[in-house]
Amino acid sequence: MDKKRYQCKNCDFEWQSAKEYDKCPDCDSENIELVGVTEGSQDVTPLGLGRRRGSVGRGMGAGPPRTCKCTKCGYESPKTPGVPCRQTKCPKCGLPLCGAD
């Protein structure tokens, strides 16, 4: 069964599933992108959807976010090392926060 790899452009959450997704299962954002397909045990990435690894500077795959942000009201707080942003709730809205830079 083919599995698709997705990435959320808001919180950088990545997941792999055979199921189709319209929004991020972590933060409910609809700003997601298909980043690859796995057929059996072989990774088959569609043209134009490759990921940059080992690039200099802060970009995709360059470490954890620096801040946590609410996607509804814009509240921001510093990222606590070792604690995913989604485990922290916004004190204004009560929604889980997302990673941001």
pLDDT digits (tens, 9 = 90+) for 19-45: 888 888 888 888 888 888 776 655 555
pLDDT of residue 99: 86
Asked whether residue 58 is domain-assigned, the answer is no
Q: Is residue 59 part of a domain?
A: no
By C-alpha distance, which of 5, 83, 85, 95 is closest to 49? 5
User: Domain check: are 7 and 38 in the same one?
Assistant: yes
Cβ(85)–Cβ(97) below 8 Å: yes
Handedness of CA 37, 19, 84, 101 (dihedral sign): positive
Residue 11 lies in a domain: yes
**What range defines the domain where residue 81 resides?**
67-100
Residues in the chain: 101
- C-alpha–C-alpha distance, residues 27 and 96, integer Å: 7
pTM: 0.41
In a domain, 39, yes or no: yes
- What CATH number did the domain enclosing 10 receive? 2.20.28
